Amino acid sequence: MIQSAFKNRYAFDRSEVTLGNWRTRPYSSWSFQNVSEMVPSADMSTGITIEEETIEDLKPLLGRSVNVGVGQESVAEFLNRSNTDILLLMKSGQFVGEYVAPTADPAAPHIIFSISKSLTAILAGVLQDEGLLDPEQLVTRYIPEAAGTAYADATVQQVLDMRFSLDFVEAYLDPDSDFARYRRAMLWNPIRPEEGQESLREVILSLPRGEGPHGGPFRYYSPLSDLLGIIVERASGQRYADLFREKLWTPLRGHGRCNVTVDREGVARAAGGVSMTARDLARIGEMMRNGGMAGSRAIVSERWVRDTLRGGDKAAWKAGDFHTLLKDGSYRNKWYQSGLDNGAFMAIGIHGQWLYVDPSREVVIVRFSSQDLPADDALDQQTLRFFDFISKTI
């Protein structure tokens, strides 16, 4: 009976979802909301869920016509073709609309992939405010065993800004790449018996250095953000999950469940393993819009937020990996700055996860998706146009 109900909703059996296919459609429509059933995970929430307020659905908006660069279509058509699971809108600190796909549950923690990087950076900012972390120090100050590795002469700030020289390619779909080895170490992919079982830390520290010095162009290397997760643990003396719960989740007053995947040593996947609800992620966006304040509670300093939103090096961005995403953009402390007049900034994850903040209109948008491709440059551009349309409309 249970299996039948599951298949009625998802058009496949739970038994069909495996570690080898959980990030592919159609299985991702379920697994992205149930990652802790696929990968070992640490709970980061308080254990007490708070009932959410009722939010108006987006039916009046779904029929509106929008052109994101591929001709006129309705909002509903865009959401459907982009495999959107949830679209949540906040205006001036209030939730004003929510779209939920038939296979989605707004109360379920949805994986946010690389938006996790931006949240890990907030933890680094909190520790910086407390004098426990100095971003100008070398990585080896916090991870002594990094001596003699590609990270030995790099600063924590270079890790935060991804201005780094590493011989590594984010080859999401290549099963024989170093990226696939990295994913096996984080327990996201089936282990290859002939390789043994490496830990996430072992793989990160084994990656070779690239050409050129650290501090150059923006280079998107996910292992740097897992390294940052280890740095904040060492600097604070706390497990990532406990630090997250104490410094971010509790003062934010997160309402739902929140977890992070861990490897065989219990090391958190700080670069991409966090899951939470759309409403709680929107609360983080609103906190950033308000200079680090969540209501009357200061989570991170206004100084750190200002540096994050204004301190990015535009020349490093233009010479870097994602310059076509945001023509006049920049990147600082693992947050993207649009360079647009409205001051929009964002955090982005693969398979279509977005936290978009337009401070000029006091708008926060969260989009959770189960897009088929990990990266889709054309759809990313369309999504940015869609967010601008929504921000101007609500």
Residue 67 has pLDDT above 60, yes or no: yes
247 closest CA partner among 58, 119, 340? 119
Its pTM stands at 0.97
pLDDT at 8: 87
The domain defined by 32-115+122-132+237-393 carries CATH number 3.30.230.10: no
Q: Which residues does 302 contact at the CB level (< 8 Å), separation at least 6? A: 291, 292, 293
For residues 196 and 198, give the distance between their C-alpha atoms in angstroms, rounded to a whole number. Answer: 6
For residues 361 and 330, give the distance between their C-alpha atoms in angstroms, rounded to a whole number. Answer: 21
- 3-class DSSP state of 16: helix
91-142 per-position pLDDT tens digit: 999 999 999 999 999 999 999 999 999 999 999 999 999 999 999 999 999 9
3-state SS string over 67-93?
Answer: ECCCCEEEHHHHHHHCCEEEEEEEECC
250-263 per-position pLDDT tens digit: 999 999 999 999 99
- DSSP characters for 48-67? ---PPPP--BSHHHHT-EEE
For residues 263 and 187, give the distance between their C-alpha atoms in angstroms, rounded to a whole number. Answer: 6
> In the chain, which residue ranges form alpha helices assigned H by DSSP?
2-10, 28-31, 59-62, 75-81, 115-129, 156-161, 178-185, 200-206, 222-236, 240-244, 250-252, 278-289, 302-310, 314-318, 377-393
| Residue 222 known to be catalytic | no
**What's the pLDDT band for 5 if we cut at 50, 70, 90?**
confident
Q: What are phi and psi of 88, to 5 degrees?
A: -120, 130
Q: Whole-number mean pLDDT of the chain?
A: 96
Residue 1 has pLDDT above 70, yes or no: no
Residue 198 has pLDDT above 60, yes or no: yes
Q: Where are the domains of the chain?
A: 32-115+122-132+237-393
Q: What are the Cα distances from residue 59, in Å, to 53, 238, 320, 347? A: 18, 45, 40, 26
Question: Alpha carbon 189 to chain centroid distance?
Answer: 19
The CA-to-CA distance between both ends of the chain, in Å, stands at 42
- The answer to whether 169 touches 181, Cβ cutoff 8 Å, is no
- The answer to whether 300 touches 122, Cβ cutoff 8 Å, is yes
Catalytic, out of 28, 31, 45, 114: 114
- The answer to whether 368 touches 32, Cβ cutoff 8 Å, is yes
For residues 350 and 324, give the distance between their C-alpha atoms in angstroms, rounded to a whole number. Answer: 16
20 closest CA partner among 188, 158, 154, 185? 188
Helices 302-310 and 278-289: crossing angle, nearest 10°?
90
8-65 per-position pLDDT tens digit: 899 999 999 999 999 999 999 999 999 999 999 999 999 888 899 899 889 889 999 9
